[in-house]
Amino acid sequence: MNGLNETLTAWQPKILSVLRIVTGLLFLQHGLVKHLAFPGPFSRALAPGELVWFAGLIEIVGGILITLGLFTRWTAFVCSGLMAFAYFIGHSGRALYPILNGGNLSILYCFVFLYIFFAGPGPWSIDAKRSAAA
pLDDT score recorded for residue 112: 98
> Using CA atoms, how far apart are residues 119 and 91, in angstroms rounded to an integer?
28
Residues in Cβ contact with 119 at an 8 Å cutoff, skipping those fewer than 6 apart: 16
pTM of the prediction? 0.94
Q: What is the DSSP letter of 91?
A: I
- Per-position pLDDT tens, the chain of length 134: 789 999 999 999 999 999 999 999 999 999 999 999 999 999 888 889 999 999 999 999 999 999 999 999 999 999 999 999 999 999 999 999 999 999 999 999 999 999 999 999 999 999 999 999 87
pLDDT for res 43 = 87
Q: What is the pLDDT of residues 61-98, one digit of tens each?
A: 999 999 999 999 999 999 999 999 999 999 999 999 99
| Nearest-angstrom CA–CA distance, 117 and 102 | 25
Please state, as a whole number, how many other Cβ atoms lie within 10 Å of the Cβ of residue 78: 16
